[in-house]
Structure 1
């Protein structure tokens, strides 16, 4: 599924140059927007209601960024890559480094988000203002490399290595090489798409989601998280007795 997006402020004439998607929006979206009480919604009907220009600007220079579901049973973080943009069901962090990914995916941050966040029915909700913005990282994310001590660089590298190992092993589980094949995307500038090799592979891949993986939590996944947690706890100066 694709979502039509003409950017944050593209003029109607420029958007109309994309004939097929513009016609679809004109036919299906404009009639609904025409009845909206807000003038901006009626007059700029081909654009998303809240196009988030600040978010777009923050993500634009990054080859990848961190995302987590707003509401989810498990507090999972994953990498998304340009030109993908998140919708309102995702919270994104404009960082491309493994250190940030590793700390966010640690037990320390998970417990903080459960304590400081809210919930929807029985599922935790990640609220950036009370979870991300208040979270005490081992040192601020915007600390320049030259300001880090050798000890902190060593901790950063250990966290990054553990985070990469976790991400790579999960990706392999989600898309086993024997189940997928690469096919060029219809847009030449985009990376190849991973498609199932046959119908049996398609059914198996549908079953392989991060939620199902964390529901099962196999030993290899638990071990990778234990390794990541140990690296993060060490950056805080916690021993086993002081770890959460």
Structure 2
């Protein structure tokens, strides 16, 4: 068994460097919900030094809400915004001797792309037009994954180590009970079900089939570092190899 372990970084947390010793892919905030040029450069530099795959983590231009407020924007605006953020991170990565290997939308953009074909198409088109060799990370079982594959992109289905699921495979909204997993033991059981059994238990009790190939830990969460250490150790104990998504067996 193998899996990619990713974290969202450059968002103002103080665990970025320590997390980069534990994950295989880093989703680096591109300044529109958090971070900025210096934070992006710091994360890229550390990722290059540690051999961690670099990913762009673009969002709606909404720092006041950390990119978590849903927006109704024209597809052209979303397309241009993705290119803008991708270009900025790509330039920094090139200057630091690395390259962007994947893109994962952030927050509301991620969730809306998972269910709204127009938003999904805008994101997919921007990635394809920028560099069709880039992989995209998206919610497992979502139409975003299907659209990316139809466009010829490598689409990596993502699961969340610290988030609750609904019976339809979507994430529980952060405002609802069960949205966040705070217990390490609960998190491990949750993750091992996804990795070993290709399924996750919804907050309402149903088992939901998921073909998860990358697991996310939120780098800004209060338990991110402790969860990452425990999770990496547990995966290794179970004989699960951790590799960047671009090297995983499909």
Shared fold (TM-score, shorter chain, > 0.5): no
| TM-score normalised to structure 1 length | 0.26
* Larger proportion of strand: 2
With CA pairs under 8 Å and 6+ residues apart, which has the higher RCO, 1 or 2? 2
| TM-score normalised to structure 2 length | 0.25
- Bigger radius of gyration: 1
* Larger proportion of helix: 1
